[in-house]
Amino acid sequence: LVSREHHPARSVVRVGGVPIGPDTLTVIAGPCAVETVEQTLEAAVMARAAGAALLRGGAFKPRTSPYAYQGLGEAGLRILAEVRAETGMPVVTEVIDPASVELVAGYADMLQVGTRNMQNFALLQAVGSAGKPVLLKRGFAATVDEWLMAAEYIAQRGNLDIVLCERGIRTFETATRNTLDISAVPVAQRRSHLPVIVDPSHSGGRRELVIPLARAALAVGADGVMIDVHPAPERALCDGAQALVGEDIREFSIAASILSPVM
């Protein structure tokens, strides 16, 4: 269902009216995790300045360590809804288990399935039935074929509003958190009609890598990028080291506008 054999033309997925697909360059930005109303609102203002049309932010955080910040849960979803009402930006947020799909879908404009859950088949089927567009991140140890098969589980439930997100894979290299597999973008775009975006924040794991990796993503033809921003990354409860701040935002928006087909 997601292959170009089945559907030769590349698809456009709309999230609260915002298109993601060929001929557009959609920026999704926001904090890694929702912490407070003020932090989320400030991050949304920064996201806007970076050229973002969609706001990201995790209320349910899938952390490697059970002792790390796990997110605010439903209280975080309420904050995202409040910030959407204030800014008009549709919200992309992660859902981490089938039991909370209905709850998250009640607040989100797009449901994110994270790298750790790419092959959680019960979750894929549940988001496929939730009636919302889905952002499917690539598993950090998944091949492109496995990623497309994961998308197939969502599509089988009648939902073809799926956007693929390359976010780095695990390799022998330890200089970056993960290795951004930039070639996966054109490969996935040739095999599948679905839009493909890149997350340079989670792949590099460090602020200074985000803009260069975003440039690479746009140059290779990604349909968008998703980046972390934070008003005070030194106090961030999650992944502050990769969040863009102040001047970075300006540099990012210039880089994006130079490479964008429409901005």
Dihedral-angle region of residue 92 (phi above 0 means left; psi in -120 to 50 means alpha; beta otherwise): beta
Does residue 21 interact with ligand PEP by CB under 6 A?
A: no
What is the rounded distance in angstroms from the CA atom of residue 85 to the CA atom of residue 76? 14
Does residue 31 interact with ligand PEP by CB under 6 A?
A: no
The residues, ordered by sequence, that sit 6+ positions from 223 with a Cβ below 8 Å of its Cβ are 20, 21, 22, 24, 25, 26, 163, 189, 195, 196, 197
Which positions from 50 to 89 touch ligand PEP by CB under 6 A, shown as an x/- string?
A: --------x-------------------------------
Strand-pairing partners, residue 225, are 27, 198
Which positions from 100 to 119 touch ligand PEP by CB under 6 A, shown as an x/- string?
A: --------------xx----
User: Among residues 35 and 199, whose Cβ is nearest to ligand PEP?
Assistant: 199
> Min. distance of Cβ 175 from ligand PEP in angstroms?
18
What is the rounded distance in angstroms from the CA atom of residue 129 to the CA atom of residue 179? 32
> Min. distance of Cβ 35 from ligand PEP in angstroms?
13
Total residues contacting ligand PEP by CB under 6 A comes to 9
When computed from its CA atoms, the radius of gyration of the chain, rounded to whole angstroms, is 16
Does residue 202 interact with ligand PEP by CB under 6 A?
A: yes
Residue type, 178: N
Residue from 48, 84, 167, 193 touching ligand PEP (CB under 6 A): that is: 167
Residue from 28, 32, 180, 243 touching ligand PEP (CB under 6 A): that is: 32
Residue in the structure block whose two tokens are 């950090």: 140
Does residue 230 interact with ligand PEP by CB under 6 A?
A: no
Q: Using the Cα atoms of residue 33, residue 39, residue 44 and residue 50 in order, give the sign of their dihedral.
A: negative
Which chain residues interact with ligand PEP by CB under 6 A? 32, 58, 94, 114-115, 137, 167, 199, 202
